[in-house]
């Protein structure tokens, strides 16, 4: 039997367990794929990471598909629901956390102006005693794209955002994006 003695669990581990439990409650609506005559689809792995220095700085991203210097920005929201759960803590190291449902529509803008727009559905948890800090664990569904991403037809995966009390933040997005292929050529 494994036991933990003499130390409290790290606050982020408790929040992560909360998020994993609550993530099972989040339902992401499917996006129907529409077949086109003579066209096929190809899925592309989509992995993006980013950093925001403070709350007034742009959220800069990098990834194979979006390149370096892309920006993550809200189009609508985030909209927060009522409290889903409260996890009590053990002060002073962890005072507890409150979690709520969250929805936003977000956009990645590449340096060339091309965009990918997503609906993001998740759980937003705020630790007590750390004003401004929160963690969002969510799922995304692709709404569409413009410019070099105009042929992106659907996609889905996860989004994890960790905002610190000083306003700095990190993001990780992982999943896939599907594109139209015709004549043996896939465009994105």
Q: Quick check: is 112 in a domain?
A: yes
d(CA 105, CA 107) in angstroms, rounded, equals 7
- Between residues 162 and 95, the one the model is more confident about: 162
Radius of gyration for the alpha carbons in the chain, expressed in angstroms and rounded: 19
d(CA 34, CA 154) in angstroms, rounded, equals 10
Hey, what are 45's tokens?
Answer: 């792995």
pLDDT of residue 11: 45
Q: Quick check: is 2 in a domain?
A: no
d(CA 188, CA 149) in angstroms, rounded, equals 5
Highest mean pLDDT among 67-76, 144-153, 178-187: 67-76
Domain span including residue 105? 41-186
Q: Quick check: is 113 in a domain?
A: yes
Q: Quick check: is 159 in a domain?
A: yes
Q: Quick check: is 13 in a domain?
A: no
pTM summary value: 0.75
pLDDT digits (tens, 9 = 90+) for 134-160: 999 999 999 999 999 998 988 999 999
- In the chain, pLDDT over 90 holds for what percent of residues? 56
When divided into structural domains, the chain yields a total of: 1
Q: Quick check: is 3 in a domain?
A: no
Q: Quick check: is 99 in a domain?
A: yes
Residue 5's contacts (CB-CB under 8 Å, 6 or more residues apart) are none
pLDDT beyond 60 at 23: no
d(CA 131, CA 51) in angstroms, rounded, equals 20
Q: Quick check: is 5 in a domain?
A: no
């Amino acid at each position: 039997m494994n036991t933990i003695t003499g130390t409290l669990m790290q606050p982020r581990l408790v929040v992560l367990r909360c998020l994993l439990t609550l993530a099972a409650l989040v339902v992401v609506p499917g996006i129907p794929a529409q077949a086109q005559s003579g066209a096929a689809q190809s899925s592309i792995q989509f992995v993006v990471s980013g950093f925001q220095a403070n709350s007034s700085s742009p959220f800069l991203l990098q990834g194979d598909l979006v390149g370096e210097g892309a920006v993550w920005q809200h189009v609508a929201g985030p909209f927060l629901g009522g409290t889903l759960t409260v996890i009590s803590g053990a002060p002073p190291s962890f005072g507890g956390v409150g979690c709520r449902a969250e929805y936003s529509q977000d956009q990645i803008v590449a340096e060339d102006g091309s965009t990918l727009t997503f609906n993001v559905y998740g759980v937003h948890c705020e630790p007590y005693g750390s004003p401004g800090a929160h963690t969002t664990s969510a799922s995304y569904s692709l709404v569409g794209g413009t410019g070099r991403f105009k042929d992106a037809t659907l996609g889905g995966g996860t989004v994890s955002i960790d905002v610190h009390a000083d306003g700095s933040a990190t993001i990780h997005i992982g999943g896939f994006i599907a594109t139209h292929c015709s004549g043996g050529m896939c465009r994105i």
